[in-house]
Structure 1
Amino acid sequence: MGVRALVTSCRYHHSTVLSVMLIFSVFKTLTDQTVTVELKNDLSITGVLKSVDQFLNIRLDNITVSDAARHPHMMAVKNCFIRGSVVRYVSLPAEHVDTQLLEDATRREAANQVKR
């Protein structure tokens, strides 16, 4: 299925800002790749990632929804803008994500947290 990135709303302090910037950097490298975004209202949208901003707002093109019967109003929609605060998960294509780089960055951040 790919790499699944958890996006949560947290209190903003130093480590959270660094975590968001790390996720933002990964998403920026995935422009023009197909991703699946699961929203907090259980709607899953698959589409081509066109842009993401520092608030993790996402713009998708050529979208499809996973459960068209529950969300028939989405059938006519081809492009969408998703506010970052309503995102639960983003499924990313594993072959386009440098997991070693992410693991190293996560370890560095964890080590910095221990030092504080």
Structure 2
Amino acid sequence: MLFYSFFKTLIGQPVVVELKNDLSIQGILVSVDQFLNLKLDDIRVSDEKRFPHMMSVKNCFIRGSVIRYVQLPAAAIDTELLQDATRRENLAEK
């Protein structure tokens, strides 16, 4: 639940999502669910020559299981909040 809560704080921020098929999509995070499925608006594909069929797509839904990596804006990350939440979750597991 830590990642879900964290991603909810990033709604409205630009992110880059790298998929397991090497497709990299830049867009604005619109929503996230408990399975870490993401919805992005105003998307752009990093390698347009390799994925020309994605040029006309403006928004997309990405299933969480196909995501390899998510790049987040450094300014949007509150490291103190993350560290505190991680500590609290770790204590709750014990």
Q: Give the TM-score normalised by the residue count of structure 2.
A: 0.90
Q: Does 1:57 align with 2:34?
A: no
Name structure 2 gaps, 5 residues minimum.
none
Identity, % of aligned positions: 69
Q: Does 1:42 align with 2:22?
A: yes
Amino acid paired to 1:36: V
Instruction: Give deviations 1:36-63, integer Å, cap 9, x for gaps.
Output: 0010111110001000000100000000
- Secondary structure, counterpart of 2:11 in structure 1: coil
Q: Which residue of 2 aligns with 1:68?
A: 48
Instruction: Give deviations 1:66-107, integer Å, cap 9, x for gaps.
Output: 111111110110000000000011111111111111122334
- Mapping of 1:66-105 within 5 angstroms? 66-105=46-85
Amino acid paired to 2:42: N
- Secondary structure, counterpart of 2:8 in structure 1: helix
Amino acid paired to 2:80: Q
Q: Does 1:32 align with 2:12?
A: yes
Q: Give the TM-score normalised by the residue count of structure 1.
A: 0.74
Amino acid paired to 2:56: A
